[in-house]
Structure 1
Amino acid sequence: MLTKILARGVPACGYLFIRYLRGIVLLAATPLGLLLGWLIPDATAGLVKLANSERDRAARYLQQPAATPLPDALARQSGDVVTLFKDKSFWRSTSLLLLPPLVIAELVIAVCAVFAAPSAVLAMVLWPLDPGGFTLFGVPVDSWWKALVFGPAQILVGLGLLGWVAPATARWHARLTLGVLAPSAAQLETALLNERVAELTRTRAGAVDSHGAELRRIERDLHDGTQAQLVSLAMRIGLAKQTMAADPEKAAKILDDARDGAEQAMTELRGVLRTMYPPILADRGLAGAVSALSARSPIPVELRVGELGAVPAAVEAAAYFVVAESLTNITKHSAAGHVDLLLERRGPKLYLAITDDGIGGARVNEQADLLGRGSGLHGMVHRVEAIDGQIELQSPIGGPTTVEVILPCA
């Protein structure tokens, strides 16, 4: 019982003590802030930061998720009163000035909660050293009957304050802080829009970079592979044309070589096209394409495919390449013996989860590490985020590794 009381009361009293100290400092600084705040932009910006700090502490005390902060104070020049009056975050933050008067009463509760029981024990034990010098409930203790009557009563009251009243007061103060300093609905909407714009800017930049890298890869493959084969084919046909009259057999052999070169060039060209949009998606759909990838994997894959419904082409391509890259990474780096692959529709979203029982330790890196790991995952992240999807990698050392992808289909 005592342990529970201490576990509730000590953090509550600590919270109230700190609120008192900050409230007194704020109360002392208020006159100067009101006089000079309109001249000093940093003063108003600091008040907003202090309000956000109070909200964070209140949320942590209540063991709630991090509180949505007030937007930063508007940028303004010294003496710019017009901008100051338009600053909603500043006016919300001025609600802090209403809290200091409350902390005095809260301090009394915290002090009584902390010291009532210990002081009662000391008075009960030490009163014979100084009869009448110790008090219990304000009554001088000069006899044992007073010590044995008022002492336990004060201990019980102190434990009640510590175990119930102080925590209730601290919770009330924290909820009041969260409510009074909460951003308005318009500010919340603006903050969400700003976060969305920042997220879209980041993902679109990543998509552009990924797209540029993909174009350079395709150009390199065409230049080093297909183009070289076609140039060689043209030269062989020209040589066969020159030798046709003088040596028909040699010309026929050259044309046979040219035919083989043409077939090889077509094979390489199909390979390049397959990396742009796999034909198997158009032929067999996403479920069939993923089944084919799983069947070709050298590591056994347990595939579970739910009802997918209509899936946009961009989403199909992203999911296909995520599966292909994941299975490639697992084969190369994981030392896994088994892979679980789940693909299903969850409302308006496509859900994909790939889990292997390998050694773990996978990380998303812009550049491949010494073992060649990481860059493929980085490309997967860009491909998924480019269509507003979400990807999460969990790969502790020792495994297992799980890649979860959620792609919007609406």
Structure 2
Amino acid sequence: MILPARASLETRLRDVRFLLREGLSWPASLGLLIAGVVLLPFLPLGVGLYPVPRLLAALNLLASRAQARAGAYSSAVVPFDRRRLDGRQSFGELAALVSAPETKRDVSWLLFHGAFALLAGCLAVALPLAAVLYVLAAPWWMLFPQATPLELAFPVTSWPAAAVTVLLGLAYALAAWLLPPWMARRLSGGTLAILSPRRYDELSRRIQDLSAARASALTAHAAELRRIERELHDGAQNRLVGVVMMLGLAQRAAETDPAAAVPFIGRAQDAATEALAGLREAVHDIYPPILDELGLGGAASALTSRSPIPCSLDVHGLLRAPAAVEAAAYFILAEALTNAAKHSDASRIEVILRTEAVPREDVLVVRVNDDGRGGAAVPPHGGGTGTGTGLAAGTGLAGIARRASAFGGKLILTSPQGGPTELRVELPCAF
């Protein structure tokens, strides 16, 4: 009997804590709601669009935190990622953000939260306090002078009035026991229902993401085929042509002077050795054998040890992933280290590889931080030439972005002028 009662009490305390957090976040919701109302008349004039990014960023932050609290309380899995409001937007993009379905859902939640969060939080605190006060204070009504009697729900000046007050306190105690779970369920359920996209919107978004990932995969595949073809043509094929030529010369020399054929055979052997090395390098670029032998952690250690810039490697929390994902992470790390060595002027590079658990799947995270001069930028649409002089000047970032998007992942770059630069790539392990 003691254990169920204790578990029930812990559940009620959990409900009250959730309601208190919602009540404490209510002033931020109210302030944002007032700012939106003040800004609303200026939107048709155009000037009201300039504060929109900050306002939407604040709204997105509040809504994401509320969604996280509601999901944690109800143990619900949020089956989608919230949008990221990064970078600068044009006038048309700002107008589209204001009318986007995500913005409408966030505004609807803001109205819902502003209307009920404070009330729920206050009731969660007021009901138990009122119960304790009424039950404990009413029997002491005699200690108060007749001129200033004990005032609770009504003046307590007699034992019948004290008994009624105690009964009222017990009613408050019953309400304090029954209402918080109901209010917490309604508040968390309403938050998740409002902020979760409708199934049609979610499916449309997933289709768009899959279409973009498929296009990126096809682009990355074509680029890999061109690169392999170019390496074979310029490397192994030319050397094999040299082998054939040297053997032909050796054959003709052997017909007249066998001793004269020996140098040609030696040169053919050297060319064949170089062609074999080129073929091994091309095969290594398709799928490095070291990944099978040592895993991604060991392969990353080999990459960082060859970097001309001193590197530290942290693989704490790294788990095995599908072979294709590990290969993508290996090449992304190799490209990032190469670009850092060429363009960053850094004195130190920090590499972090780890597996992070998210509600739907595990994500392999590749982070490369350098203390260089920064200024790197992601090329528009993942192509062209990157700008800046930091980690990823040139076409390096474009290739990294294409390779990540081919697996449904994303590239997040922070590289202010003057540095430091942080490159973070997230690769879903269940692509």
For normalisation by structure 2, the TM-score amounts to 0.54
Give the direction of change, closer, same or farther, for the CA distance of 1:351–1:17 in structure 2 (3 Å limit). closer
SS at match of 1:391: strand
Q: How does 1:10-409 map to 2 (within 5 A)?
A: 12=34, 15=37, 64-65=59-60, 188-347=198-357, 348-365=362-379, 366-368=383-385, 373-409=393-429
CA distance in 2, matches of 1:402, 1:283: 29
User: Do the aligned partners of 1:393 and 1:403 also contact (CA within 8 Å) in 2?
Assistant: yes
Amino acid at match of 2:406: A
User: Do the aligned partners of 1:363 and 1:374 also contact (CA within 8 Å) in 2?
Assistant: no
Give the direction of change, closer, same or farther, for the CA distance of 1:275–1:61 in structure 2 (3 Å limit). closer
How far residue 307 of structure 1 moved from its aligned partner, in angstroms, is 3.8
Deviations along 1:101-156, one digit per CA (max 9) or x if unpaired, are: xxxxxxxxxxxxxxxxxxxxxxxxxxxxxxxxxxxxxxxxxxxxxxxxxxxxxxxx
SS at match of 1:245: helix
Regions of 4+ moved over 6 Å: 16-19, 182-185
Gaps of 5+ in 1: 1-7, 23-48, 69-88, 93-178
User: Do the aligned partners of 1:364 and 1:374 also contact (CA within 8 Å) in 2?
Assistant: no
User: Do the aligned partners of 2:220 and 2:406 also contact (CA within 8 Å) in 1?
Assistant: no
SS at match of 2:351: strand
User: Do the aligned partners of 1:344 and 1:351 also contact (CA within 8 Å) in 2?
Assistant: yes
How far residue 283 of structure 1 moved from its aligned partner, in angstroms, is 2.0
The structure with the largest alpha-carbon Rg is 1
User: Do the aligned partners of 1:364 and 1:375 also contact (CA within 8 Å) in 2?
Assistant: no
CA distance in 2, matches of 1:197, 1:14: 32
CA distance in 2, matches of 1:279, 1:388: 24
Gaps of 5+ in 2: 1-29, 65-100, 105-189
CA distance in 2, matches of 1:396, 1:263: 47
User: Do the aligned partners of 1:362 and 1:374 also contact (CA within 8 Å) in 2?
Assistant: no
How far residue 319 of structure 1 moved from its aligned partner, in angstroms, is 0.9
For normalisation by structure 1, the TM-score amounts to 0.56
How far residue 349 of structure 1 moved from its aligned partner, in angstroms, is 2.0
Amino acid at match of 1:252: V
Give the direction of change, closer, same or farther, for the CA distance of 1:63–1:318 in structure 2 (3 Å limit). closer
Which residue of 2 is the match for residue 81 of structure 1? Answer: none
Deviations along 1:58-86, one digit per CA (max 9) or x if unpaired, are: x9599522989xxxxxxxxxxxxxxxxxx
How far residue 374 of structure 1 moved from its aligned partner, in angstroms, is 3.5
CA distance in 2, matches of 1:316, 1:355: 20
Amino acid at match of 2:239: Q
Deviations along 1:304-347, one digit per CA (max 9) or x if unpaired, are: 11143331101111111111011101100000000111112223
CA distance in 2, matches of 1:406, 1:382: 12
CA distance in 2, matches of 1:16, 1:352: 43
SS at match of 2:198: helix
How far residue 242 of structure 1 moved from its aligned partner, in angstroms, is 1.9
- Aligned residues: percent identity? 41
Amino acid at match of 2:426: I
Give the direction of change, closer, same or farther, for the CA distance of 1:60–1:301 in structure 2 (3 Å limit). closer
CA distance in 2, matches of 1:62, 1:277: 41
CA distance in 2, matches of 1:215, 1:62: 41
Amino acid at match of 1:385: S
Give the direction of change, closer, same or farther, for the CA distance of 1:293–1:196 in structure 2 (3 Å limit). same
CA distance in 1, matches of 2:336, 2:57: 41
Deviations along 1:231-273, one digit per CA (max 9) or x if unpaired, are: 1111211221122131111111110010000001111111111
User: Do the aligned partners of 2:319 and 2:354 also contact (CA within 8 Å) in 1?
Assistant: no
Amino acid at match of 1:362: A
